[in-house]
Amino acid sequence: MVENKKGVNKDMGKVAIYPGSFDPITYGHIDIIERSLEIFDKVIIAIADNMEKQPLFSIEERLQMAKNIFKDSPNVIVDSFKGLLVDYVAKTNAKVILRGLRATSDFEYEFHMASMNRSLNTHLDTLFMMTSKDYFFVSSRTIKEVAKLGGGVEGLVPDLVVRRLKEKFKLPVTKKKQIGWDD
């Protein structure tokens, strides 16, 4: 957890919390994070430690991947949380929850979540950013499905994540079968 949240936040400027399962983190997530740094001074990637979801990667593995990917980005903090997101956000003093929207199909789920979070804490707002066109078909769920069946996910997730997926699914590390629009 982020220590000394009040003090940290005071020095941090405008902060957004970017919550999610990140199971695993994709270039779709990374695109949102990088673009959001044009608006916010700091972005906290808040990885949900939610047992109900039965993730492929443990919370430690998801934290390790995200920390590694953003190791050279001082304005990106990687953290985990348990329980209600609004309680976590309240501890950081951030006022904005950031979420990516890929398509209208995301909207209903996101609308419910944002409305519930707002009813739990009226001081919080959710800001949505449209995913870039190169990644709007990318989700952690489809990445896992494709990788499990031996399809290439290079270019859709960082190389580190490609390697971790191959290790998880016990696939040869040399396998390369790119998926793209022309396939």
Catalytic residues, which ones?
29, 53, 102, 140
Place of tokens 């929850």: 97
The reply on whether position 84 binds ligand PNS by CB under 6 A is yes
Calculate the CA 176 to chain-centre distance.
25
CB of 35 to ligand PNS, least distance (A): 18
Buried b (16+ CB within 10 A) or exposed e, 130-162: ebbeebbebbbeebbebbeeeebbeebbbeebb
- Closest chain position to ligand PNS (CB): 20
**In this structure, which amino acid lies at residue 100?**
G
Q: What is the DSSP letter of 178?
A: B
Q: Are 179 and 153 in contact (CB under 8 A)?
A: yes
Tell me the per-residue interface mask from 86 to 125 with ligand PNS, x by CB under 6 A, - otherwise: ---------------------------x--xx--------
* Binds ligand PNS (CB under 6 A): choice among 9, 21, 26, 36: 21
CB of 19 to ligand PNS, least distance (A): 4
Residues engaged in binding ligand PNS (CB under 6 A): 19-21, 48, 50, 84-85, 113, 116-117
